[in-house]
Amino acid sequence: METAKLTVRLPKQDLEFAERYARARRITVNKLVDQLLRRLRNSEEVRSASARSEVDAWQELFRVGDALAAEDPPGSQTLTAAVLAMRR
C-alpha cells in the first residue's frame, strides 16, 4: 500500500491521550489513526450500501403497489388504489 505523510495539529491533551491509548495497545499513533479512519470508511460504506438497499426496497414496494393497483377494477376503493391516487 502506498503511503503519504500528513501533519495534523491537535490540542495537546488530545495528542497525549492518543499517545497513551496507542502505547497501551502497543501500536503507534500512526497505526491508531489508520485503524480509526478505516473504521470510519467502512461504516460509511455500510451506511451507503444500506441507504441504497432501502431505496431499492421502496422502489420495489411501489412497483408491486402499482401492479396491484393496475389490477383493481376502475373506481374500486382498495388501499392500493388510494395510495396510487395520493402519489399522482
Measured CA to CA, the distance from residue 57 to residue 20 in angstroms comes to 46
Q: Is the pLDDT of residue 53 over 80?
A: yes
Q: So what's the pLDDT on residue 16?
A: 93
Q: So what's the pLDDT on residue 13?
A: 93
Q: Is the pLDDT of residue 44 over 90?
A: no
Q: So what's the pLDDT on residue 12?
A: 94
Is residue 69 within 8 A of residue 80, CB to CB? The reply is: yes
Q: Is the pLDDT of residue 19 over 90?
A: yes
